[in-house]
Amino acid sequence: MAHVRTDDRGSLLDRALEASVVGSFSRIGIVLRRRTQRWPELADAGRGLSALVTGGNSGIGLATAAGLLARGVRVVITTRDEAKGAQARATLLDLVAPVGGPLDRTEVGARLVTASLDLDRLGSVRALAERIDTLGPIDVLVHNAGAMFAERSMTEDGLERTWQVHGVAPFLLTMLLVPHLTMRPDARVVWVSSGGMYTERLVVRRVDSPGGYRPSVAYARAKRAQVELARELHRRLGGSTGIAFHAMHPGWARTPGLRTSLPTFARIVGPLLRSPAEGADTILHLALTARSGADDDPLAGGRFWADRSPRTTDRLSRTVADDAERAALWDRLVADAGVVPPGTTA
């Protein structure tokens, strides 16, 4: 009888979990994978690094910022207004460096910066990028901010809101921050997508829901666009800039956003929801794990991740997009963001 090695057991179980959505996306997935794959601790690999986390005042973004701060990273969190920034700062200090705890509160506080960003306004994205000019290099950019909107609406920039918040505005921010991301080697950009994207194919003429609007469909299309965009960014800019562009999904995590947008789902799945920190785990893995330098190193970028492993981008054959559609996505983003990508001319 053939023996199954412990490592093989981990990968067999991983495949079994991946085949079932509940097993993979719920808390069960991360708990079993962590145990059977013997995940290493993400030690203080972040000392000296700088990160920018959008939507860092709540849920997965707050947990990401806490995880980075605890590992020595200098973190800029963005919030929609100053009051939320002040509140998030106090929450993060209490989480990461409680009074009487092992970490020095003053030192952690000095590594935490809050900045204002409202993705509903492209002017706010440009203002943040200008402010970042004073902040120096960025090693890690986490596009975490996002939401599901009950109704279709247009922003002051004349774009459909779900598309702008998840696509156009973070794309613009990425383009404007490329000079900061290339100041040091080994920068990473992480798009926090959603497993919901598995239901939708990238069709660029539909990304802004020009026909009927259904919140979950608009959201899934925008999240699909993020995954295809990470791949396209890797193809166009990965080699010339050295930046690793990743997309990931956090699984189902108990956050204010989930409770607001899908209250019934949050109630039913209840105890099987991940904690925000479990939702943030793969973001931290992508932010902090050293690249091997090998040609086939998945940490070089262009992949879609969950629970610390690259995953398929398509569970259904009908969602597979081709290179032409990804190129059309790029053109649409460039036009809607009104930006000239690095390495091209106006």
Catalytic residue ranges: 219
| Window of 45-53, 105-113, 140-148, 302-310 that interacts with ligand NAP by CB under 6 A | 140-148
| Window of 32-40, 41-49, 114-122, 317-325 that interacts with ligand NAP by CB under 6 A | 114-122
Which amino acid makes up residue 51? Answer: A
Q: What is the largest CA-CA distance in the chain?
A: 67
DSSP assignment string, 56-99: TTSHHHHHHHHHHHHTT-EEEEEESSHHHHHHHHHHHHHHHS-T
> Does residue 172 bind ligand NAP (CB under 6 A)?
no
Q: For residue 79, what are the β-bridge partners?
A: 116
| Window of 29-37, 145-153, 289-297, 314-322 that interacts with ligand NAP by CB under 6 A | 145-153
Which CA distances in Å does 28 have to 3, 18, 24, 25, 289?
Answer: 26, 11, 7, 8, 24
> Does residue 147 bind ligand NAP (CB under 6 A)?
yes
> Does residue 58 bind ligand NAP (CB under 6 A)?
yes
> Does residue 101 bind ligand NAP (CB under 6 A)?
no
> Does residue 123 bind ligand NAP (CB under 6 A)?
no
> Does residue 60 bind ligand NAP (CB under 6 A)?
yes
Site for ligand NAP in 263-282 (CB under 6 A): 279
CA distance 207 to 165: 12
Which amino acid makes up residue 43? Answer: A
φ/ψ bin of 74: left (φ > 0), alpha (ψ from -120 to 50), beta (otherwise):
beta
Map residue 128 onto helix, strand or coil: helix
Minimum Å gap between C-beta 292 and ligand NAP is 28
Which is nearer to ligand NAP, 61 or 238 (by Cβ)? 61
> Does residue 85 bind ligand NAP (CB under 6 A)?
no
Candidates 24, 26, 114, 144; binder of ligand NAP (CB under 6 A) is: 144
Size of the site for ligand NAP (CB under 6 A): 28
CA distance 280 to 59: 9
Question: By the criterion CB under 6 A, which residues form the site for ligand NAP?
Answer: 55, 57-61, 80, 84, 117-120, 144-147, 165, 192, 194, 249-250, 252-253, 255-258, 279
